[in-house]
Amino acid sequence: MARPLLLLFLLLAAAAPAAAQQAIGVFGLWAAFRDGERCYAIAEPDQAGREGEGRAYAAVGFWPRRGLRGQAYFRLRRPKRPGSAVLLRIDQRTFQLRGGGIHAWAADPAADSEIVAEMRSGIEMSVETRSAGGALMRDLYRLRGAATAVDAAAIACARRR
C-alpha cells in the first residue's frame, strides 16, 4: 500500500501546475495536499482495482471559504447500483453514506465529524456497496497516518485564511 500511495502522491503532484497544487507530505499510508483554496488528506485502498476500473480513494477535505471542514468523501471503483446503500465501516462502527455514480459522502456535517473522529482512532475502514452490475464492491483502507494527514491538511488551509 505505501508504494501505490507514494505513486499517487507523485502523480498528483506532477499532474497539476505547481502554483495550483502543493504536496504537504506523506504520513504513513495517507498523504496531504493543498490545491488552490482547498486542502485534503487522501489514501488509496489496499487492493488495486481490476483492469478497466477507476481509481478508488478516500479523502477528507477542507474548503475554508465555503465553510467546509473535515468533509469525508469516497470515490468508488465503479458506479454503484441505484438504490444500493453505501456502507462505511471503521473498525466496529458503521455509517451509511450518500451518493450516486462513483461518489459517496457523509449525510451531513455531524456525520462528517463522527467519521473523522473514528478515522483518527481506528485501524481500518471499508467502503462497501453493489456495483451497477450487482457485484459486491468492497474497498479496504488502513488508517495508519490518517489522523496526521488530516491534521496537516487542516493546518495548511488554516494558514491560507
Residue-wise pLDDT tens digits, 66-88: 888 999 999 999 999 999 999 99
Can you give the residue range of the structural domain that contains 79? 2-159
Q: Name the band, by pLDDT with cuts 50, 70 and 90, for residue 8.
A: very low
Three-class secondary structure of residue 48 per DSSP? coil
pLDDT tops 70 at residue 89: yes
pLDDT greater at residue 124 or residue 3: 124
Q: What grid cell was written down for 111? A: 456525520
pLDDT tops 90 at residue 109: yes
* pLDDT of 94: 97
* pLDDT of 66: 86
Q: 118 Cβ partners below 8 Å, 6+ apart?
A: 90, 91, 93, 125
Tell me what the mean pLDDT of segment 14-31 comes to.
75
62 HSE (CA, 13 A, CB side): 23
Closest CA to 153 of 44, 89, 82, 64: 64
Tell me what the mean pLDDT of segment 83-99 comes to.
95
What's the pLDDT tens digit per position in 143-154?
999 999 999 999
* pLDDT of 90: 97
* pLDDT of 116: 97
% of the chain at pLDDT higher than 90 = 69
Q: Based on the structure, what is the number of domains in the chain?
A: 1
CATH number at residue 103: 2.60.40.1880
pLDDT tops 50 at residue 11: no
The gap between the terminal CA atoms of the chain, to the nearest Å, is: 33
